[in-house]
Amino acid sequence: MTDHPDPRSRPVPAGRLARARAMGGLATGLAGGVALSGAQALIRGRRPRLSELVLTPGNITRLADRLSEMRGAAMKLGQLLSMEAGDLLPPELEAILSRLRAEAHVMPPQQLKQVLQDAYGPDFRRLFRSFDTRPLAAASIGQVHRALTPEGQALAVKLQYPGVRAAIDSDLDNAAALIRWSGLWPAELDIAPLMAEARRQLHEEADYAREGVALARFGDLMAGDDRFVVPRLDPDRSRAAALAMSFEASEPIERLAEAPADLRDRAVTALIELCLRELFEFRLMQTDPNFANYRWRPDTGQIVLLDFGATREISAGVAEGYRALMAAGLEADREAVLAALERIGFIRAGLPDRHRATLADMAEMGFAILRGPGPFDFRGNDFADRVRARGREIGSERELWHLPPPETLFLQRKIGGLYLLATRLGARVDIPALARRFA
């Protein structure tokens, strides 16, 4: 093993008791800060709300750091809440959750060695000519390392954090209790469906055998498209808590922002087309929009696709619902748009006409892009700002507060992530042509 110290290293609490103790210590620390801040406020003659006492700068930092240190369910729940509830959350909570979307801490070398022994046995070294202890990437469930086989093949090996899979349910229960106690979550929004979805997603993402199957399926589906590269599964070095695949040399896709315009346009067009194929042709979608899941090869212009833990089957009903929605948007048929939005669960049925009109106006902002006379220029476009501003207006109307079904949320998350990436890269894409092809 090639040992390189990493300044981000911090041990993952491995057992359920250790993880419960860490969460309990966090709650105690927050409560202490609340008591002190409350006493200071009362001395000044104020009677603050609990959420005001929780959301101090010190507590925000303490909460984000501890959830990041724990990884696993606590960190993933924070990421899901941040992405799915959007503008309905208070800005202080969004500040905490946005930090959890960044890269996690990593395991120190000694803990990493134990994880390798648990996954492969005490003679794990015979499986690798070399194994770099400094990870290529780290996230909520595991971290990825580069290795070489005895034959010299370069691998990327994803290792699951110790104790994370066994503690998913208890972690989620503890994190949800903390969020409810703090008053951070709006009472009008039912957190239970998101909790159930977070539980399901985490159990699926922690199932590396399932991810290996998804990786192989996408490899087969993309075999004829030389715009993309999908790593090859290495079944001989994959285990329940270790997923091995070919290492595909590439650069962060954000580097494309410095490339010529035609390269940027082709890459983003390919990614948007892939999303539509996933929805309407494959009925199988990698739903995690993290930029790190896309890499770029400057020498060939190919995009490397990574991380298939969040792969989801798309039901026929949802796929056809989105097809109907896109067709209605292309025809500028407001009533058909609203009907399609209800069908996929994006809006509630039975809303008053004034609320339906508000939502139809917001939908029209997006569908106007589909009917444009030519390519849509993501660079310098204020579309996202306008949608965000309208979203804040809707957020002030509590009758409109609604969390769509999980399947719809995952699709929206993927679409929103691609929009952010296209904007970051400053691409021009003929979205009308793509929409007409699949509608």
Each residue's pLDDT tens digit, 166-221: 888 887 777 777 666 666 566 656 667 777 877 888 889 899 999 999 999 999 99
* Domain identity same for 270 and 211: no
Same domain, 75 and 166: yes
Beta strands 251-252 and 137-138 are unpaired
Q: Are residues 226 and 330 in the same domain?
A: no
How does 319-336 read in b/e, with b if 16+ C-beta sit within 10 Å?
bebbbbbbbbbeeeebee
With cut-offs at 50, 70 and 90, classify the pLDDT of residue 54: very low
The span from the CA of 166 to the CA of 16, in Å, is: 8
Per the rule left: phi > 0, alpha: psi between -120 and 50, beta: everything else, 96 is: alpha
List Cβ neighbours of 136 (8 Å cut-off, separation of 6 or more): 144, 145, 146, 156
Nearest in space to 163 (alpha carbons), one of 105, 235, 114, 91: 114
Distance CA 385, CA 22 (A): 39
CA distance to 120, 157, 305, per residue, from 246 (Å): 18, 9, 12
Q: Are 283 and 431 in a shared domain?
A: yes
Label residue 33 by pLDDT band (50, 70, 90). Answer: very low
Residue 216 contacts by C-beta under 8 Å, 6 or more apart in sequence?
Answer: 233
Residue 19 has pLDDT above 90, yes or no: no
Residues 139 and 159: their CA atoms lie apart, in Å, by 11
Q: Is the dihedral of CA 378, 381, 383, 385 positive or negative?
A: positive
Q: Cα dihedral angle (236, 117, 70, 246), rounded to 10 degrees?
A: -30
Whether the per-residue pLDDT at 433 is higher than 60: the answer is: yes
Q: Roughly how many angstroms between the first and final C-alpha of the chain, as a whole number?
A: 52
User: Mean pLDDT across the stretch 71-79?
Assistant: 60
Secondary structure (3-state) at 302:
strand
More confident residue, 5 or 240: 240
Query: Which pLDDT score, from 0 to 100, does residue 167 have?
Result: 81
Q: Is residue 222 scored above 80 in pLDDT?
A: yes
Provide the mean pLDDT of the chain.
Answer: 79
Report the pLDDT averaged over residues 234-238. Answer: 97
Residues 261 and 196 in one domain: no
Averaged pLDDT, 411-429: 90
pLDDT at 86 over 50: no
Q: Which of 196, 218, 248 is the last residue of a domain?
A: 248
pTM of the shown model: 0.79
- Alpha-carbon distance of 247 to 148, in angstroms, equals 9
Higher-scoring residue by pLDDT: 224, 198: 224
Contact 176, 195 (CB under 8 A): yes
Residue where a domain terminates, one of 219, 248, 277: 248
3-state secondary structure of 387: helix
- Is residue 214 within 8 A of residue 197, CB to CB? The reply is no
Q: State the pLDDT confidence band at 396, using cuts at 50, 70 and 90.
A: low
Mean pLDDT of 18-43: 46
How many residues does the structure list for the chain?
A: 439
Enclosing H/E stretch for 409: helix 406-425
Last residue of a domain, one of 222, 248, 274: 248
Please tell me the total count of domains within the chain: 2
Active site residue 118: no
Rounded-to-integer distance, Cα 12 and Cα 71, Å: 7
Residues 258 and 406 in one domain: yes
pLDDT above 60 (res 241): yes
Within this chain, do residues 289 and 184 fall inside the same structural domain, yes or no?
no
Q: Residues 379, 426: contact at Cβ < 8 Å? A: yes
Q: For the residues 403-424, what does the mean pLDDT come to?
A: 83
Q: Which residue among the candidates 171, 234, 265, 288 is catalytic per the annotation?
A: 288
CA-based nearest residue to 416, from 309, 289, 279:
289
- How do 228-229 and 302-305 pair as beta strands? parallel
Instruction: Give the CA angle between residues 328, 420, 95 to the nearest 5°.
Output: 115
Residues 290, 142 share a domain? no
Residue 162 burial (C-beta neighbours within 10 Å; 0-12, 13-18, 19+): buried
**Per-residue pLDDT for 287 more than 80?**
yes
Claim to verify: residue 328 and residue 185 sit in the same structural domain: no
Which pLDDT score is estimated for 393?
59
Helix (H) or strand (E) holding 248, with range, is none
Instruction: State yes or no: pLDDT of 98 exceeds 90.
Output: no
Per DSSP bridges, beta strands 154-160 and 242-246 are antiparallel
Looking at the fold, whether 232 and 317 belong to one and the same domain comes out as no
Percentage of the chain lying above the pLDDT 90 cut: 44
Beta bridge partners of 137: 144
402 in the same domain as 283: yes
pLDDT in tens, 309-319: 989 999 999 99
Domain that holds residue 300: 252-439
Instruction: Report which of residues 56 and 11 the model is more confident about.
Output: 11
On the question of pLDDT at 40 being above 50, the answer is: no
Question: Where does the pLDDT of residue 356 fall: very low under 50, low under 70, confident under 90, or very high at 90 and above?
Answer: confident
- Amino acid at the residue 355: H
- Greater pLDDT, 341 or 177: 341
Q: Which is nearest to 293 in space by CA: 314, 320, 318, 275?
A: 275
| Co-location of 241 and 308 in the same domain | no
13-22, 75-84, 346-355, 381-390 — most confident range = 346-355
pLDDT at 30 over 50: no
> What's the helix, strand, coil split of the chain in %, to 5?
60, 10, 30
pLDDT of residue 268 exceeding 90, the answer is yes
Predicted local confidence at residue 195, as pLDDT: 76
Report the pLDDT value the prediction gives residue 330, as an integer from 0 to 100.
93
